[in-house]
Amino acid sequence: MTVFDVVVLVCAALLTVGATLAVIRAERGPSMLDRTIALDIVVTTVIAGVALYAAVFRRADVVPLLVVLSLVGFVGSVTVARFAAVEPEGEGRVRTREEVAAEEAEKRRLEQEELAERRARRRAALEAARDAVPAAATGPDRDASEPATEPVPESARDTVEDEPDPEHHGGPADEETR
Amino acid sequence: MTQDQWTTVADVVSAVCLLGGAFFALAAGVGALRFPDLLSRMHAATKPQVLGLVLVLVGLALRLREGGAVWALVLVAVFQMLTAPVAAHMVGRAGFRTGKVRQDLLVVDELSRDLAATRQTDEGGRPD
C-alpha cells in the first residue's frame, strides 16, 4: 500500500462522513430550504467523490459527469427555493408511524362526529316538519302524495337544497377553484 | 529536474489538494448539521463547499495532466463559482420571506427595515 492509497482512503472516509452529516441534516431539517441546502452539500460531495475516483484510476472520461452533476445540483436548489412557501408550525418534520396513525384516527373521529351531527339535525328537521304539517290543518296523507309542495319549516331552512341548476348539477359553480 | 521528478511533485501536490478538498467537504457537512439556523447553514453550504470542490478539482487536474480534461474541470469550477452565489441568494431570499430566519441571531437586519419602509409608502400612496 503506497502513500497515495492511504491518502485516497482518508479522502473517501472524510467525504463519506461529510455526506452522512448532510443527510442527517436533510432528515432533521425543520424547513424544506434546510433540506435543499443539505442535499446541495450531498451533490457537491458526490462530485468530489467522482473526482476522487477519476484521480485514483486516472480516468479522464468521467469528467463530463462532473459538469452534468454541478449543473443539476444548481437547478434543483434554485427550483425548490423558487417554490418555497410559508410552512405551518410542525409541518416540516418527518412524522413517525404512530403519529401518522393517531392523526388519521383523529380525522376519522371528526368525520364521524360531523356525520352524526348532520344526521341528528336532519332527523330533528323531519320531525319538526311532521309536527308543522298537522298544525296547518292538512290531512296526514297529503305530505305522502305531494312532498315537494309542503311548506318548509323555519328550523329546517338550512337543510333544504336549492333547486338544481340546469347547467351545473353539482354544487354552486362559483365556489369551485379552477 | 527530470520528467520523472515533475510527475512525482505533481502527484504529491495532487494528494495534498485532494486531502484538503475532502476535509472542506467534511467541514461543510459538520457545519450544516451543527449550525443553528438557515442562514448559518447556508454559510457552511456555500463557502467551504466551493473551496473544497475547487481543491479536489485541482488535485484531479494535477493527476490527469491532459489538456481537454483539465479544461472541462476548469468549466466545472467556474460553474460552481457562478451558481453557488445564485442558489444561495435564492434560498436566502425565500427563507427570509417565508420566515425561516431567526431574528435573534441576526447582527444587522437591513432587509426588514427596508421592507417595512416600502410597505409604509405603499399604504400611504394608496388613493383611498
Enclosing domain of residue B13: 3-122
A59 and A104 together in one domain: no
CA-based nearest distance A100→chain B, Å: 25
Residue B2 is predicted with a pLDDT of: 82
From the list A14, A33, A15, A35, the residue with the least C-alpha distance to A25 is A35
**Taking the mean position of all CA atoms in its chain, how far away is CA B19?**
19
Residue B21 is predicted with a pLDDT of: 92
Q: Where are the beta strands (DSSP E) in chain A?
A: none
Cα atoms found within 13 Å of the Cα of residue B23, Cβ hemisphere only: 8
Q: Where are the beta strands (DSSP E) in chain B?
A: none
**Could you tell me if A1 lies within 8 Å of chain B, comparing CB atoms?**
no
Give percent above pLDDT 70 in chain B: 95
| Mean predicted confidence (pLDDT) in B105-123 | 80
A30 and A74 together in one domain: yes
Contact A67 B79 (CB under 8 A): yes
Residue A149 within any structural domain of the chain: no
pTM of the model: 0.68
**Could you tell me if A74 lies within 8 Å of chain B, comparing CB atoms?**
yes
> Do residues B92 and B42 lie in contact, with contact meaning Cβ atoms separated by under 8 Å?
yes
Residue B114 is predicted with a pLDDT of: 81
The C-alpha cell that represents A33 in the structure block: 430550504
What domain count does chain A have?
2
- Residue A168: partners with Cβ closer than 8 Å, 6 or more residues away: none
C-alpha dist (Å) from residue A92 to A29, A71, A88, B65: 8, 27, 8, 47
A72 and A24 together in one domain: yes
A79 and A101 together in one domain: no
Residue A160 within any structural domain of the chain: no
Distance CA A152, CA A161 (A): 11
User: Which of A14, A58, A71 best tests the B interface by mutation, with the highest count of B CBs <10 A?
Assistant: A14
Contacts of A18 in chain B (CB under 8 A): 22, 25-30
The C-alpha cell that represents A146 in the structure block: 305531494
Report, as ranges of residue numbers, the positions in chain A whose pLDDT lies below 70. Answer: 85-94, 134-178
A79 and A100 together in one domain: no
Residue A151 within any structural domain of the chain: no
Residue B128 within any structural domain of the chain: no
Q: What is the ipTM of this complex?
A: 0.85
Q: Which helix H or strand E contains A113, and what residues bound it?
A: helix A97-135
Residue A141 is predicted with a pLDDT of: 53
A17 and A55 together in one domain: yes
Contact A34 B41 (CB under 8 A): yes
C-alpha dist (Å) from residue A95 to A24, A92, A99: 15, 9, 6
A72 and A120 together in one domain: no
Q: Which sign, positive or negative, has the C-alpha torsion A161, A162, A163, A164?
A: negative
> With bands split at pLDDT 50, 70 and 90, how would you rate the model's confidence at B3?
confident
A17 and A57 together in one domain: yes
Distance CA B2, CA B31 (A): 44
What domain count does chain B have?
1
Residue B127 within any structural domain of the chain: no
A29 and A73 together in one domain: yes
The pLDDT of residue B73 is above 60: yes
The pLDDT of residue B75 is above 80: yes
The C-alpha cell that represents B32 in the structure block: 450544516
Q: How far apart are the first and last CA of chain B?
A: 83
Bin A177: left if φ > 0, else alpha if -120 < ψ < 50, else beta: beta
A27 and A48 together in one domain: yes
Q: Tens of pLDDT along B82-99? A: 888 888 888 888 888 777
**Nearest residue on chain B to A34, alpha-carbon basis:** B38
Contact B52 A48 (CB under 8 A): yes
Q: Taking CA A80 as the corner, what is the angle to CA A75 and CA A81, rounded to the nearest 5 degrees?
A: 100
Residue B112 within any structural domain of the chain: yes
Residue A29 is predicted with a pLDDT of: 77
Contact A70 B79 (CB under 8 A): yes
Identity of the amino acid at A46: V
**Nearest residue on chain A to B50, alpha-carbon basis:** A44
Enclosing domain of residue A113: 95-138
